[in-house]
Homo-oligomer: A and B are copies of this chain.
Amino acid sequence: MRLVTLEDIHAAAAAIAPHVVHTPLLTFDSGLSIKPECLQPIGAFKQRGAVNALSRIPSEDRARGVVAYSSGNHAQAVAYAAKLLGMPAAIVVPDNTPQLKIDATRSHGAEVFVVGITERESRAAELVEERGATLIPPFDHPDVIAGQGTIGLEICADLPDVATILVPVSGGGLIAGVATAVKSLRPNVRVIGVEPELAGDAAASFAAGSLVRWDAHDRARTIADGLRAEPSELTFAHIREYVDDIVTVTEDEIRDAVREIARRTRVVSETSGAVPVAAYLNRSLPAGPAVAVVSGGNIEPKLFAELVG
């Protein structure tokens, strides 16, 4: 299996630079900075991978557009990237998707198809077939991984003495990219994945040395709704090669972390984005300056108000 390389990630950085925010490191306390990817225009890091993947579609295929299926940040990321690059986008969402997210995806000019949750993949495949469009997966693709890896480049450039980087793990695209970039540049920096205990399949896989599958119903128990996916063979291969450890955090630790991030750094994070800070606050870590990638900030306003008040 060919893994993404540092060169792929440098190329991605050049491709996406005009279209993403170079997020600043913000001081959480004397030991931790956060990398607030919630400040991207769509409110999440997914914009990096989507813009990179779309920018690599050959020009002769662009007019036929792109297709994605997602109920979350990936839908908006692909819609946003397609608008930027002038390509049509069709997004397939399950019928339990909040109207707010459907509207946000439509606001970027994408065509939205609402289907039963079990029909997502087949409807997307039909659209790809009918239109000759390109399917953009949420994490299981080298161009997506390379795009997310640009976060690692920025951390290494902006905090040369970083010792530990904490990254949320779901499908594994984010940590695959970040770990590849960071370990290629600075082999001594520790890259640690963080998962909710209730969706701790990647931690179990990491401990076992091969992919362990958890039932989707079990993974759905966590409040961190962006962390319910599971790694693919491709993302797990990067994790095995480059990641030092994967730790888990409890639901209460996640809730507290959302509040502490808002109070200390004035940033709105979603529960999934707050898990690395939960690990920093509650687990023992290697010494030295740490960075937590706060991956997104798309949280339901009522829940956010409850957590920060």
Q: How large is the interface on A (under 10, 10 to 19, 20 to 34, 35 or more residues)?
A: 20 to 34
| This chain's copy number in the assembly | 2
Q: How far is the CA of A301 from the CA of B256 in the complex (A)?
A: 13
Q: How far is the CA of A305 from the CA of B26 in the complex (A)?
A: 22
Contact pattern, A 22-46, Cβ under 8 Å of B = 1, otherwise 0 = 1110110000000010110101000
Q: Are A41 and B24 in contact (CB under 8 A)?
A: no
Q: Tell me the A4-61 residues at the B interface (CB within 8 Å).
A: 21-24, 26-27, 36, 38-39, 41, 43
Q: How far is the CB of A275 from chain B (nearest CB, A)?
A: 16
A residues adjacent to B (C-beta < 8 A): 21-24, 26-27, 36, 38-39, 41, 43, 259, 262-263, 265-269, 297-298, 301-302, 304-306, 308-309
Return 22 A-B CB contacts under 8 Å, by A number: A21-B26, A22-B24, A23-B24, A26-B39, A26-B41, A27-B41, A36-B39, A36-B266, A39-B265, A39-B266, A39-B267, A259-B301, A262-B304, A267-B267, A267-B268, A301-B309, A305-B305, A305-B306, A305-B308, A305-B309, A306-B309, A308-B308
